[in-house]
Structure 1
Amino acid sequence: MAIPTPFLLLLLFLLPSFIFSSPVQDPELVVEEVQRSINASRRNLAFLSCGTGNPIDDCWRCDPNWAKNRKRLADCAIGFGKHAIGGRDGKIYIVTDPGDHAVNPKPGTLRYGVIQEEPLWIIFKRDMVIKLKQELMMNSFKTIDGRGANVHIAGGPCITVQFVTNIIIHGINIHDCKRGGNTYVRDSPSHYGWRTLSDGDGVSIFGGSHVWVDHCSLSNCRDGLIDVIHGSTAITISNNYMTHHNKVMLLGHSDSFTRDKTMQVTVAFNHFGEGLVQRMPRCRYGYFHVVNNDYTQWAMYAIGGSASPTINSQGNRFFAPNDGTFKEVTKRENSPQSQWKNWNWRSSGDLMLNGAFFTASGAGSSSSYARASSLAAKSSSLVSTITASAGSLSCKKGSRC
């Protein structure tokens, strides 16, 4: 997507000063920092305002005292994961140390916070890049809140939400995630266990429920950016900015794992950007509401699936690649047309651009769509405004975020 001329000028102005002043040497981090600076300047220039029509952002971003009212965020979720309260009812825990130890984490580290038994709202004292030694095994009733700091989880294994509930992951950068495992990893103060090889996902939700991933920037992981599998349900994935990745999002473990029939996932207000190939998302068995997302690139397909999932696509904007081979938004896998013609896939109010088209199937206004409807869709004409701030935000205390 082309950057308007004023933003290019701003980029040229910001880049030299940033390069010579920043202690971070990773070129990818430099680019992300510049992009955040541009977004912050856009807000200062009033290109963005609180009244965006994005119900999550309009719930909390207008408050200049957001840093003192952090837990208000827990009341702003939408969709199937709207009851995820994270650490709302617990204390604030401050990450002061970017270090990590998989079995004996120090107080002040991220791992020490997420494994505790009690609810915690986890924030960060300063900017930091956290290279985890092994998967970050989260315990129930935790919020990871990156607002007010530039936080990257990158270069090692990343986040695992396994058989736990009430998790909020907000405002962090997750990228370049690697495999971990074949070692011991702690998941609570009283227990650690042997972990086999992980897949290398950005966020892996395995048998989890009431989980909300919001305003994160994700890219370039070994496997998926966000995977939701093994009977997980009550999930919302919103306001994220995803780029430079092949298999973006898997919702449903395998065609033989029928427990995923109860899965309900909302995918809303995300920006699927440059360098993406497929699985935005790829679905199995369950009920999936894909609503008001902006698709600016895909190399193979945007929304796909197998094993008869119900997919309700509403108010999205799909801009097909210029390569005429892959204009279709949808892809059915592992089944002939004689079978997938009965799968309930519907497009309602979607904006199709540059030749994009959605192949619908199923019983039209089947009652199954009621189970795949989690919030009222807004007009696709508003998608650019609703998703303008997708990804991690540059928030400063004392001013609107």
Structure 2
Amino acid sequence: MASLPYADVDSNLRDLAGKAEGFGRLAVGGLHGPIYSVTTLADDGPGSLREGCRRQEPLWIVFEISGTINLSSYLSVSSYKTIDGRGQRIKFTGKGLRLKECEHIIICNLEFEGGRGHDVDGIQIKPNSRHIWIDRCSLHDYDDGLIDITRQSTDITVSRCYFSQHDKTMLIGADPSHIGDRCIRVTIHHCFFDGTRQRQPRVRFGKVHLYNNYTRNWSVYAVCASVESQIYSQNNIYEAGEKKVAFKYYTEMAADMEEAKSGLIRSEGDLFLSGAQSCLLTGIGEECIFHPSEYYPTWTIELASDSLKNVLQVCTGWQAIPRPAELMTSA
């Protein structure tokens, strides 16, 4: 039977810190700060999430209530914060979270739905942000992206998330003129992309490790490699609907180059169902694609199978789990 990683992170409140697999593995969030309790669904003011996120000290943010927080503007998250939705059901609507020039952020067990307005993403990560882990979030129906990672933001893991009812799902690297995005490194694993149209993800410049994800019924493509990107697709499940081609290559020219290039995809152990076609580029630079072991020693991976597919349909996104107790450990 398939199983998801991180079986131990819900035994103690702060056990999430530093436990991500992949490029976001160093993210500690608010490990070294006090608990901040959100006691109101108001957009701002005492006891609000916005009040906690703007504070400059490390905080482990938990919720004492469930319900919808209607954001009138992007909610900016400062460094060393954990936004921990375990034990409650919190949904964001209106706008989303903005991670701008910050580091060591953990976002766990939250819902994002119905973001409206130009350039409104569920979680927008730019510029110059790093050491970020997004885990067990449900994201649906925003006017722009669900998660966008751009402008030299790097060392990020997205795990166990559920994406649905959306067009341009996840953009990594925004524009061929942003050559600084060559530093971007992202791991996406054990996520379920359920009928989202495209960008699962679309990548420019960066290095992206995809493993044990389930993507089904896309209507443009599943994964897109654009200018200079390197995508390592390992033991994922791609189940086609009407559109069969899983991998697309878009050619663009980096601002400091004289020749346009697409990106590269290496597929290893992927399962293609319902006529899905990989359409891999053959004989063109596969040996130039990074291997994850160059950057982290281990990750939890299993064969792409019906068993894995079934588990990902149930165990991704927001979960009705209790908030762990904070068990003090001796030094």
The alignment's TM-score, normalised by the length of structure 2, stands at 0.89
User: 1:80 matched to which residue of 2?
Assistant: 23
Kindly provide the amino acid, as one letter, of the partner of residue 392 in structure 1.
W
User: 1:212 matched to which residue of 2?
Assistant: 133
User: 2:14 matched to which residue of 1?
Assistant: 71
Q: Output the CA distance in 2 between the equivalents of 1:363 and 1:54.
A: 32
* Aligned ranges 1:313-352 → 2 under 5 Å: 313-321=233-241, 323=242, 326-335=243-252, 343-352=263-272
| Structure with greater Cα Rg | 1
Q: Output the CA distance in 2 between the equivalents of 1:293 and 1:176.
A: 24
Q: Output the CA distance in 2 between the equivalents of 1:214 and 1:366.
A: 30
Kept in 2: contact 1:289–1:373 (CA 8 A): no
Kindly provide the amino acid, as one letter, of the partner of residue 16 in structure 2.
L
Question: Is 1:125 the equivalent of 2:64?
Answer: yes
Kept in 1: contact 2:264–2:286 (CA 8 A): yes
User: Aligned residue pairs: how many?
Assistant: 313
Q: Output the CA distance in 2 between the equivalents of 1:233 and 1:135.
A: 20
How far residue 344 of structure 1 moved from its aligned partner, in angstroms, is: 2.9
Q: Residue 90 and residue 137 in structure 1: after superposition, are their counterparts in 2 closer, same or farther (change >3 A)?
A: same
Kept in 1: contact 2:235–2:304 (CA 8 A): yes
Unpaired stretches in structure 2, ≥5 consecutive residues: 254-258, 326-331
User: 1:192 matched to which residue of 2?
Assistant: none
2:309 to 351, 365, 384: 384
- Render the CA deviation track for 1:175-201: whole Å, top value 9, x for unaligned: 11123xxxxxxxxxxxxxxxxxx6110
- Render the CA deviation track for 1:193-246: whole Å, top value 9, x for unaligned: xxxxx6110000002100111100000001000000000000001100000000
Kindly provide the amino acid, as one letter, of the partner of residue 234 in structure 2.
Q
How far residue 75 of structure 1 moved from its aligned partner, in angstroms, is: 3.6
Q: Output the CA distance in 2 between the equivalents of 1:367 and 1:158.
A: 33
Q: Residue 335 and residue 200 in structure 1: after superposition, are their counterparts in 2 closer, same or farther (change >3 A)?
A: closer
How far residue 317 of structure 1 moved from its aligned partner, in angstroms, is: 0.5
Greater fraction of residues in helix:
1
User: 1:60 matched to which residue of 2?
Assistant: 9
How far residue 107 of structure 1 moved from its aligned partner, in angstroms, is: 2.0
Kindly provide the amino acid, as one letter, of the partner of residue 330 in structure 1.
F
User: 1:39 matched to which residue of 2?
Assistant: none
User: 1:30 matched to which residue of 2?
Assistant: none
Q: Output the CA distance in 2 between the equivalents of 1:119 and 1:77.
A: 19
User: 2:256 matched to which residue of 1?
Assistant: none
Kindly provide the amino acid, as one letter, of the partner of residue 159 in structure 2.
S
User: 1:12 matched to which residue of 2?
Assistant: none
Q: Larger RCO: Structure 1 or Structure 2 (Cα < 8 Å, ≥ 6 residues apart)? A: 2
SS of the equivalent of 1:122 reads strand
Q: Output the CA distance in 1 between the equivalents of 2:70 and 2:125.
A: 20
User: 1:108 matched to which residue of 2?
Assistant: 47
Question: Is 1:264 the equivalent of 2:185?
Answer: yes
Unpaired stretches in structure 1, ≥5 consecutive residues: 1-50, 64-68, 180-197
Q: Output the CA distance in 2 between the equivalents of 1:262 and 1:120.
A: 28
* Aligned ranges 1:7-156 → 2 under 5 Å: 53-56=3-6, 58-61=7-10, 63=11, 69-101=12-44, 106-154=45-93, 156=94
User: 2:329 matched to which residue of 1?
Assistant: none
Q: Output the CA distance in 1 between the equivalents of 2:294 and 2:67.
A: 38
